[in-house]
Structure 1
Amino acid sequence: MKKISNIAEQCMEPPSIEKLSPRYFNYSASINQVLSMKLSESIDSDLERQHNYLLSLVNMTDERMVCTIGGLLNYISLTAPSLRLNKPFEISDIKPINFESLTLIDNETYKNLQIFDPLQHPSSFKWSSTENNEGVSMYNLIEKNCSSMGLNRLRSFMSKPTCDLSVIQKRHEVINFFMQPNNFHVIQTLKTYVSQLSSPSVLSTYLGRLNLRGSHWKFIYRNIFYTVSYAEVCKANTTNVALFAELGADINDIVYSLAHNLESTIDLVNMEKNVHFVIKHGFFPPLDEAKLKFSKLTQQMDQITPYEFDTVPEFIPKIKLLYIPELKFVLSIPFWKNGLTQEELNLPNLHFMFVANNMAFYKTKRCYELDKLLGDVQTDIIKQETNIIRALGRYLNKHIHNVVVLMNKIIDLECIFALAKTGKENNFIQPYIVQEKVIKVVNGWHPLLKVYMDNFIPNDVQTSVADGLVNVIFGPNASGKTIFLKQIALIAYLTHIGSYVPAEEAKIGLLKRIYARVQESESIISKVSSLMLELRSMAFATTKTPPASLLILDELGKGSTELNCTAILTSCIQQFLSRNENCPLVFISTHLTDISQYIGDQQLLSFLIMDYIIQQGELVFLHKVKKSYAHSNYVFEVIETLDQTLPFVKTAKIVLDALRTGENMLPYSETRLKRSQRHMKFAKKFSELDMSKSGYMDKLREKIQRYYEASFHI
C-alpha cells in the first residue's frame, strides 16, 4: 500500500505550464489526430462509425478548439513516460465542460475567504512543490471527514461551485440520506467498501505495466470488486436519491464480466504466498495438465537417475538428472578431480553441454528420450500463462473505462458525504434555493469561527431588490465587519457546492460569480502600488460582474487620503446603483461615515452598522449587525480600549478637531509652542509700527535682530 500511495502522490503533482512549438498546433494535423483517436465507446466500430462518433463530439470547424486538442495530444505523447503512460496511449473519452453552469470564483477570493489556505514551509530548502498542508480553511475543515478516495478530488470538487439548481438538489438528496439515522448501516457499508478502493489514476497506471506482479493483479481485482459492490449498495437505495440511481444505472454486464473473469482467472488464495501471477486451477485444462506434469518431474527424475550410472564411467561417484528450462533434461556430474581439461570432460556415450559451479552437464540417450516424451514443460507453462496474462490485460484495458466511470462517480459521492458529515457535526441546515436575486439568512454564523471558538454571535442577512442590493456596513475596528462579510460569502459558496449552510434558516438565490476583495496581496513582482491594486479590483467589480453576482468589498478605498477615498467609494457605489435592478448583490464595509451626504437615500441602498454599547466610558462591541447609520468611526475610543496611556492619542485628537473646525492647529511640543508664541508676538509688534514716523527702519532692524538672536540663541 505504501507503493500505491507513493504513486498516487506522484500523480497529484501541482500543475505547471509547458510551452510547445507552434507546429504542434497545426490545424490540418490536429484534425487528423482527432479523427485517429479510438475512444472506448467506438473501439469495436468500423472506421466510418468511429469518425462519425468523433464528429458528434468535436466541432471540426472550430479551429481554436481543434488546434487545442491537437496540441494537448502532442503534449501527452511527448511526456508519456513522465505521465506513466504506455505508447501508444489510449483516450477513453472526451467530456465537454459547460462553463455556463459554473459559479466563477477567482483564486484571490478563495484565499480571502479562507476556502483554501495552503501553508508553505518557511525554509526554501525544505519547501516542496508537492506539499499540500492546509492552514485554517474550509478545505481543512471538510477534508477531515473525507475518505482517502474522496481526497483525490476534494480540492477539485470544492473549486467548481455550480449554479445548476438540479445538480445542487441532487447533492442535497445525498446529504439528507446521510443524515437520516435509519441509513446508518448503509453508510457504514459504503464506508467499508470505499476503504478498499484507490484512485482511478493508480488503477490505470497498473494496467499500463507489462510486468504486473501478483499483488498488482490482486489490487486490480479488489478495486473492480469493491467498485461494483459499492454501486450495488447505491442501486438498492435509490429512493429519493438521484445520484445513487445514476451510479446504479452505470453497472452493466461488462462490469460484472470484468469482475467474474478476473475472479475465475487468477488464484487469489495462492497469490497470497506467491508474488507472481497464478492462474486459477480449472481455468485452462492444458495448463493444469502441464503444471501437474511439472510437479511430478522431480520424483520421476529421482527414479530415473540410478539407471544413468550405466552410461557413465565407473570412476564417476555421483550423478543427478536435472531439468533446465529451454535446455530440458540434462545429467549433472560433479568434477571428479581438479584441473579437468576439455578432453577429460568429453566422456564416452555422453554429449558434453557446458560447465558451471564445478559441475559438468551432459545429454544422454535417456535425456533425449525425455525431451521428446515430456518436452520443455516449464517453458510451455510460462508461454501459456503469458498468453493468458496478455489476453486478460488487453481485455481489461478495453473495458476498464466502465469501471473508471463508476469510480469517478463514487469519488464525487465521497466528496458529498464529506460535506454531509461536516454539516452534521456543525448543525448546518439545508438552504432554500431560488432563481431570484436574494440572500436571506436567519442567525447565520461563520463556519470556521464556530469550530475554533467556543463563543460566537450569529447574525441575520437580508438583501434583495426590495431590501437593498448595495449594503454599506459601518463599524469601528475589531467590531466584526470582516467576519460578517466573510460569513455572507461562505454561506453563498457552500450553497453552490451543494452543501448545507451554517444558519437556522437560509434563502439563497443562484449566483454566477462570487467575488471578495478583503485584503490585497501586494508584491514587488506586480510593480504597482496598493492603491492601484485596489482600483483594479474596483474596476473589475463595477464593470465585469454579471447581475447575478455577490461582491464582498472590505474597507474599500483605504489606500489614499480620506478625501480621495470618499470620492472613490462614492463613485463606486453610484456606479452600482446606476445599474438599477441589474445591480449585483454588494456588501461594502468602510470607516467613511460621511458618504451619505454625497449619495442620499436610494431604494437599492441600505446602511448597516456593527452594534455596540458604551459601558463606563468604554466601547463594548456586540458583534451584531443592525440597520442604521453611523456618525462616528470611534477610532480613538477603540485605541483607548487597548491602551489609554498612548502618547499620540491626545495629539491626534487635537489635529482631528482642528481639521474638522478649520481653526488654527497649535503645535503640541512645548519647545515649538514657545517658538510659535515668539513668532506671534513679533508679528503683533510689527503690525503696530507707525511707518509714517521717522526712524521706523532703525526700530524694525533692531526688533528683527533681537528676534533672530532669541530664536537661534546667539
Structure 2
Amino acid sequence: MITPSVISTFVDYEACKRRIYSLALPGEPSACSEEQRAIFLRTVLDFSQTMSVHALGALLRYLDLHWSNLNMDLHTKPHFMTLKRISLLDIVLMDEDTYRGLQIFNTQAHPSGFKRGVQGSNKEGLSLFHLFSKCYSKVGQARLRLLLRHPTTDIGTLRQRQDVIEFFMKPQSDSIMRNICSSLRYIKNVNGILAKIKALSAKAFVWKSLYNTLYNAVVISEICENARRASQYLDKIASFDTNKLYEMALYMNRIIDFDLSKSEGKFTVKVGVDADLDMKKQTMASLHGLMSETAKVEMERLPSFIEECTMLYMPHLGYLLGVRAWSDHLTLEQKELPDMKFMYNFVRPTLSTEKVIQIKQGRHPLYLLTCDNFVANDAESSREAGFVKILTGPNASGKSIY
C-alpha cells in the first residue's frame, strides 16, 4: 500500500518516470538500448496515468531504500519479474472474516511436525476452492485461486464464464472437454521455463516442457475452433493467432532429439541440423576405439615392467595416460618414466575424529595444471603444533595456494 505521505516524498513525475525506465525486466529484449527499453515499458504501463506512475515510482524508491531491511540481506537488490495492471473498479472487496465465513479457502498445515511450516507442505482442506479445483495444470490452479481471491462484478465477464460452464456441462460436449483437459495437463508456467533458459540452467526436461506447452496450446486453440459459436470466450481462444507458437514447436521438434536428451540427461541436437556438430559427435562416438588403439601404441614404447596402461580423455585437460604402480612403496623419483610427465599423486586420506590435520607433500590440484615446478608443502594442525597459523610474505609468494 502506497500512502499519500510516501508519494509526497517522491512526487516529481519525471523522477518517477526515470526510475521506472531504469527497470530491467526478464521479458525485455536482450542488450536493448535505453530508447528500446522505454518503448518496451510503454507496452506494459500507460505513462499518461500520472497517479500510477507516481505510485509505482514511489514503491520502487521505497524498495531501493529499505530492501536490506525487508529481505534481511545487505548484499542483494530487489529483482522485478514483471509489471501487471490491475483495475480496482470491478473487484469485490471482502475481508478475511468473510472468506473464513464462506469457507472459500481452508488451508491446513501438514500433520507431521517435521514438515509443518515448510513452504509447499500445506494442503487445502474442505473449502469451495477444494470443491471447484478440478484443474489439470498448476497454472490453472493458480488462476482459479486468483479468481476466487479477487472476484469480479463485471456482468460481461460473469456471463462469459457462465456460457463456458453451460457448454461443457452438456453431454454432447464431453469429448471436447476431455480432449482439452488432456492437453491442459501439459501446459506449464512459461515464465519460469524462459527464466531457466535465459540463465543457461535449463535441463533436458525443461526444454521438453516448453515444447509440450507450445504444442498443446496450439491443439487447444484448434479444438475450440469447433465450439467457438457456443461462447465468446471459446471464440477468443479459437481466434488466437497460433502461427508463431506452431513455428516454435516445429523448429524445436526438428532440432532437439527429445528421446536421446532424456536418456542422456542433457540437451541433444538431432543429426542433420549442423554438419560440424555431426562431425564432432562422430568423433566423440569413436573416441573409445581411438583411446584403445592409442593405448596399444603407447604400451609398445613403455618399459617392459609396465604390464598395462589406460588412455583417458578429459575435456578440460586433454589426453592422459594412466599407468598402474608396478611396485609398492615407490618414491616420486622412481615413478618417473621416459618421455612421461607425472600428473597426480593423490592418496586416500586417513579420517579421524580428533582435531588433527596432517598433510605431507601437499599439492593444489588446480595449480598443478598451470605450473610445472610446483613446490609441495607440508602442513600440520594439532594441539601440539597449534591450531592457528599466521602466514606472512610478499604478494604472489604462494600464501593462498598454501
8 Å contact kept, 1:152–1:199: no
Partner of residue 223, structure 1:
213
2:129 maps to 1:133: no
8 Å contact kept, 1:27–1:66: no
Given the alignment, which residue of 144, 156, 163 partners 1:154?
144
* Deviation string, structure 1 residues 125-174 (Cα, Å, up to 9, x no partner): 98648634333x4333323x343432223222123222222212221221
8 Å contact kept, 1:31–1:60: no
Distance 1:282 1:209 in 2: 27
Given the alignment, which residue of 4, 19, 37 partners 2:23?
37
* Deviation string, structure 1 residues 215-236 (Cα, Å, up to 9, x no partner): 3332333333323322332244
**What one-letter code is carried by the residue in structure 2 that aligns with 1:113?**
L
Distance 1:156 1:89 in 2: 23
Given the alignment, which residue of 80, 95, 116 partners 1:106?
95
**What one-letter code is carried by the residue in structure 1 that aligns with 2:265?**
V
Given the alignment, which residue of 192, 203, 221 partners 1:213?
203
How many positions carry a matched residue from both structures? 332
**What one-letter code is carried by the residue in structure 2 that aligns with 1:307?**
V
SS of residue paired to 2:124? coil
Distance 1:76 1:193 in 2: 44
2:288 maps to 1:298: yes
CA 1:76–1:296: 2 relative to 1, 3 Å: farther
CA 1:60–1:112: 2 relative to 1, 3 Å: closer
**What one-letter code is carried by the residue in structure 2 that aligns with 1:96?**
R
Distance 2:324 2:342 in 1: 14
Distance 2:294 2:314 in 1: 16
8 Å contact kept, 1:30–1:69: no
SS of residue paired to 1:329? strand
2:272 maps to 1:285: no
Partner of residue 51, structure 1:
38
* Deviation string, structure 1 residues 157-199 (Cα, Å, up to 9, x no partner): 1232222222122212211220232221110001111122344
8 Å contact kept, 1:238–1:244: yes
Given the alignment, which residue of 151, 154, 164 partners 1:164?
154
**What one-letter code is carried by the residue in structure 1 that aligns with 2:232?**
A
8 Å contact kept, 1:178–1:184: yes
Partner of residue 340, structure 1:
330
8 Å contact kept, 1:234–1:247: yes
Question: 1:111-126 maps to which residues of 2 (within 5 A)?
Answer: 111-118=100-107
Partner of residue 322, structure 1:
312
CA 1:53–1:272: 2 relative to 1, 3 Å: closer
Give 1:268 shift. 0.9
SS of residue paired to 1:320? strand
8 Å contact kept, 1:31–1:70: no
Distance 1:221 1:76 in 2: 41
CA 1:281–1:80: 2 relative to 1, 3 Å: farther
8 Å contact kept, 2:214–2:246: no
Distance 2:251 2:64 in 1: 35
SS of residue paired to 2:264? coil
Larger Rg: 1
* Aligned CA-pair RMSD: 4.2
Identity of aligned residues (%): 23
SS of residue paired to 1:354? coil
Distance 1:319 1:140 in 2: 65
Stretches of structure 1 lacking an aligned partner (at least 5 in a row): 1-16, 359-714
Partner of residue 268, structure 1:
258
Question: 1:144-543 maps to which residues of 2 (within 5 A)?
Answer: 145-149=134-138, 150-200=140-190, 202-203=192-193, 206-207=196-197, 209-348=199-338, 350-356=339-345
Partner of residue 601, structure 1:
none
**What one-letter code is carried by the residue in structure 1 that aligns with 2:245?**
V
Give 1:301 shift. 3.0
Distance 2:152 2:170 in 1: 25
2:56 maps to 1:70: no
SS of residue paired to 1:99? coil
CA 1:140–1:310: 2 relative to 1, 3 Å: closer
* Deviation string, structure 1 residues 669-701 (Cα, Å, up to 9, x no partner): xxxxxxxxxxxxxxxxxxxxxxxxxxxxxxxxx
CA 1:318–1:106: 2 relative to 1, 3 Å: closer
**What one-letter code is carried by the residue in structure 1 that aligns with 2:255?**
T
CA 1:53–1:324: 2 relative to 1, 3 Å: closer
SS of residue paired to 2:343? strand
CA 1:328–1:204: 2 relative to 1, 3 Å: closer
Partner of residue 95, structure 1:
84
CA 1:331–1:107: 2 relative to 1, 3 Å: closer
8 Å contact kept, 1:206–1:212: yes
8 Å contact kept, 2:91–2:151: yes
Distance 1:120 1:334 in 2: 58
Give 1:307 shift. 3.1
Give 1:297 shift. 2.1
Give 1:52 shift. 4.9
8 Å contact kept, 1:101–1:163: yes
Give 1:76 shift. 12
* Deviation string, structure 1 residues 289-319 (Cα, Å, up to 9, x no partner): 1110121122123234333344222333323
Distance 1:312 1:119 in 2: 71
SS of residue paired to 2:312? strand
Report the TM-score, using the length of structure 2 for normalisation: 0.67
CA 1:298–1:66: 2 relative to 1, 3 Å: closer
Question: 1:536-551 maps to which residues of 2 (within 5 A)?
Answer: none
Distance 1:334 1:129 in 2: 51
Distance 1:124 1:331 in 2: 54
Question: 1:583-602 maps to which residues of 2 (within 5 A)?
Answer: none
8 Å contact kept, 2:26–2:195: no
CA 1:100–1:258: 2 relative to 1, 3 Å: same
Partner of residue 644, structure 1:
none
* Deviation string, structure 1 residues 528-548 (Cα, Å, up to 9, x no partner): xxxxxxxxxxxxxxxxxxxxx
Deviates more, 1:265-274 or 1:233-242: 233-242
Distance 2:334 2:115 in 1: 67
Distance 1:310 1:58 in 2: 78
CA 1:276–1:78: 2 relative to 1, 3 Å: farther
8 Å contact kept, 1:34–1:69: no
* Deviation string, structure 1 residues 639-671 (Cα, Å, up to 9, x no partner): xxxxxxxxxxxxxxxxxxxxxxxxxxxxxxxxx
Distance 2:37 2:23 in 1: 8
SS of residue paired to 2:258? coil
SS of residue paired to 2:265? coil
Distance 2:199 2:28 in 1: 24
Give 1:323 shift. 2.4
Distance 1:109 1:164 in 2: 20
